[in-house]
Structure 1
Amino acid sequence: MAKNVNDITVSIRPTDEEDVPLIMEFIKAIADFEDLGDSVLASEEDIRKSLFGPKPFAEAAIAEVNKEPAGFVTYFHNFSSFVGKPGLYVEDIYVHSEYRKQGVGRLLMAYCARIAKERGCGRMDWSVLNWNPARKFYENLGAEAHEEWIVYRLGEKEFLELAKK
């Protein structure tokens, strides 16, 4: 899919296994943006297995501006028992700073929305850091912050300990 936006050509394409190094570059870029660079534990092999192995757990797409990598999105399916349908969870969305405010992020989110529609999803979800200026972008898409929900997480060490019980 290619669109002309603001005198640039933006195309969004699903990734393939050859994109693993590029996906890792984007993962490191978003981690650096969020001041979480030391938190990236994934290797290229981890990404290869998780996105392109026998049982893929997630998918990714790349945004290109004039054929140059400009951004990416990773997503996977979750399930809402309240809605009774799968949902599409956007794990990461990132656009390099020089391509922001040019419609690239909107096209990445629209790409995900089309996938959610095609797959019969009942909603799309994602999390964003409270200081991230992209919150305004998401609100302009029509998204609502659900501030009454608090995200909890068990890290690998913690869930391995729990699994022993």
Structure 2
Amino acid sequence: MQPENTTSVTVRATTIEDVPLIMKLVKALAEFEGLSDHVLATEESLKEGMFGKDKYAEAIVAEIDGKAVGFIVFFHNYSTFVGRPGLYIEDIFVYPEYRGKGVGKKLMAHCGKIAKERNCGRLEWSVLDWNPARKFYEHMGGEHQKEWLLYRLDEKGIKELAERK
């Protein structure tokens, strides 16, 4: 049996003042995934998307001793089959040196509380097939949806689709 972790992790909603922090965490996640060249977001676009007139996403941050060590970005979707909203986790990231200290568990639990409070029927996320965090997600009760495949259009694809007759 492993000793209980005594690190004190706090989780909080972000504010507009946290935009530079969110940007830093997004870049750290992209670096971890080897996708730094895919980051097109700017502080301004994050500010608009998370705190502007139309809020498209929300973020929560985990801290240890007042230092940000991880975050989750999430947004609502809707299931016609369930007939209720769902919560989709777009990003979850914990700095490598803080993994194993309960940070991810706190972030996921907080997201679960939000989903419950908002009467969500599902909490979903995607993970890269090589990511060792898959074991963590399964430990948290997540189930790999083998029958569903993720499809995506990028900005160019959206433009081409919109221009079809």
TM-score interval for Structure 1 and Structure 2 normalised by the shorter chain: over 0.9
Instruction: Show the counterpart of 2:86.
Output: 87
**Structure 1 residue 98, shift from structure 2 partner:** 1.0
Instruction: Show the counterpart of 1:48.
Output: 47
Taking the aligned partners of 1:106 and 1:130, their CA distance within structure 2 comes to 20
Moved over 4 A (4+): none
Instruction: Show the counterpart of 2:21.
Output: 22
Taking the aligned partners of 2:15 and 2:85, their CA distance within structure 1 comes to 24
**Structure 1 residue 7, shift from structure 2 partner:** 2.2
Q: How does 1:116-135 map to 2 (within 5 A)?
A: 116-135=115-134
Taking the aligned partners of 1:142 and 1:72, their CA distance within structure 2 comes to 19
TM-score, scaled relative to structure 1: 0.95
1:20-42, Cα deviation, whole Å (9 max, x unpaired): 01000100011011100100000
Q: How does 1:1-165 map to 2 (within 5 A)?
A: 6-165=5-164
Taking the aligned partners of 1:121 and 1:35, their CA distance within structure 2 comes to 32
SS of match in other structure, 2:8: strand
**Structure 1 residue 9, shift from structure 2 partner:** 1.4
TM-score, scaled relative to structure 2: 0.95
Unaligned runs of 5+ in 1: none
Whichever residue aligns with residue 40 of structure 1, its letter is V
**Structure 1 residue 107, shift from structure 2 partner:** 0.5
Taking the aligned partners of 2:10 and 2:25, their CA distance within structure 1 comes to 17
Taking the aligned partners of 1:66 and 1:9, their CA distance within structure 2 comes to 7
SS of match in other structure, 1:120: coil
Whichever residue aligns with residue 113 of structure 1, its letter is G
Unaligned runs of 5+ in 2: none
Question: Does structure 2 retain, via aligned residues, the 8 Å contact 1:8–1:66?
Answer: no
- Aligned identity (percent) is 56
